[in-house]
Amino acid sequence: MDEILYDFGTGRSDPSTFPVAALQAAATKVIAEQIEPLTNYPGGLGHEGLRRAMAERESSREGVPVDPDHIILTNGSMQAVTLTAEALQVDKGDTVIVEEFSYPGTLSAYRSLGYEMHGIGLDEGGMRMDQLEDRLQSLDAKGKRPKFIYAISTYQNPTGFVMPKARRLEMIDLAARYDIPIVEDNCYADVHYEGEVEPAIFALDDNPQHLYLGSLSKILAPGLRLGYVLARPPMLDKVLARRHDAGSNVLAAAIAAEFYKDGISEHAAVSNPVLKGKRDLLLDELQDHMSELCVWSKPVGGLFIWVRLPDDVNLKRLMSEAAARGVKYLPGISFHYEFAKAPYLRLAFGHLNHNQISLGVPALTAAIQACRTSNEPVAFDSLFD
């Protein structure tokens, strides 16, 4: 088995920014002071302290009040994905709208639940509203109105794109016209580097049908398994009705709540500049080594860069050629809602050190060049046709 030296496949934050001492202090404090919550079941909503902290996090960023009692803590954002999909499903075979390329965990969950997925094309502003409108009209005419629209509207995974406010408002209008909920996954929201922060759907529209998913995996650590659903009644009760696990991890929630008692910005101010430096380095290396071969996204937040490969690359061979050089990445097919072959790959950079990024890109470039079947110049200059 090839040794992986440059793991661009795993999306997680920088281990060096993990706040060891602060979390140790928080753990000592909550274990001593919160014996009753720690020795009891948390219930469907979960630890009150973390719900209050996350409500403050969302209301501070979005500028609208958020009720802590409208937040359901989950075991990672994937439980939030699954709970909301179950709450909105009536029968197997129900339809759902997703981005053509989306988070593999979500796509896998929807497949397991028996949803029929309809993928909408992407451009540099995320999900295309012209295609969404056409698809909603077509499905409605067939009596197959989707149960919801799932969108990663900020630092979209895998592309890193941000949906502009105007397009979010278009999506809200289309959802209202067809009476369809929006499930907005915003788990990368705090991993922000530069530019305007676009408002979340719930901040633009108070329709109680809509659902919002958040996470601490990307800004703090995935091992804590802390995510949440923001839902207004009566949707809140529909989601809670699907919960059968007596609540999420109280110890992890209590520690995170203590750590974030003064807000999330202090830790973000430590972690985000480190991640931005790695993003900048990766973009520089791509420019130095792949400018004649590929086109890539230039995200203003998140943990991923989406790369378009030449059409003549043997995608299957590329995996083995890259692995032989110590490089791991995730191929475009992993993100496609129908597992369609696609000349793309995703590069994650958060947990790699600078040396690994600098050495990994030329190794990957050599693998791409070895897998081309021609020497023709690249015939595209954008990520999408």
Could you read off the pLDDT of 4-39 as tens digits, one per residue? 999 999 999 999 999 999 999 999 999 999 998 899
Q: Using an 8 Å Cβ cutoff, are 168 and 134 in contact?
A: no
Instruction: Say if residue 293 is in the same domain as residue 252.
Output: no
Among residues 206, 231, 262, the one where a domain terminates is: 262
Asked if residue 381 belongs to a domain, the reply is no
Supply the pLDDT for residue 1.
Answer: 53
- Dihedral of CA atoms 157, 203, 224, 194 in degrees, nearest 10, equals 60
Asked if residue 333 belongs to a domain, the reply is yes
Instruction: Say if residue 311 is in the same domain as residue 333.
Output: yes
Count of beta carbons in the 10 Å neighbourhood of residue 342: 17
The boundaries of the domain holding residue 115 are 22-262
What are φ and ψ of residue 56, in 5° steps?
-65, -40
Supply the pLDDT for residue 42.
Answer: 87
DSSP characters over 223-243: GG-EEEEEE-TTHHHHHHTT-
CATH value at residue 292: 3.90.1150.10
- How far apart (Å, rounded) are the C-alpha atoms in residues 241 and 153? 27
CATH value at residue 230: 3.40.640.10
Instruction: Say if residue 246 is in the same domain as residue 366.
Output: no
Instruction: Say if residue 285 is in the same domain as residue 238.
Output: no
Supply the pLDDT for residue 177.
Answer: 97
What total of structural domains would you count in the chain? 2
Supply the pLDDT for residue 196.
Answer: 87
Asked if residue 379 belongs to a domain, the reply is no
Instruction: Say if residue 230 is in the same domain as residue 310.
Output: no
Asked if residue 131 belongs to a domain, the reply is yes
pTM for the structure as a whole: 0.95
- How far apart (Å, rounded) are the C-alpha atoms in residues 145 and 141? 8
Asked if residue 349 belongs to a domain, the reply is yes
DSSP characters over 272-308: HHHHHHHHHHHHHHHHHHHTTT-EE---SBSSEEEEE
Instruction: Say if residue 156 is in the same domain as residue 28.
Output: yes
Instruction: Say if residue 361 is in the same domain as residue 243.
Output: no
Instruction: Say if residue 159 is in the same domain as residue 199.
Output: yes
Show the CA angle centred on residue 230, arms to residues 15 and 264, nearest 5°.
35
List the chain residues with pLDDT less than 50: none
Instruction: Say if residue 254 is in the same domain as residue 271.
Output: no
Instruction: Say if residue 105 is in the same domain as residue 152.
Output: yes
- How far apart (Å, rounded) are the C-alpha atoms in residues 304 and 9? 9
Instruction: Say if residue 321 is in the same domain as residue 223.
Output: no
- The residue assigned the tokens 């080594």 is 289
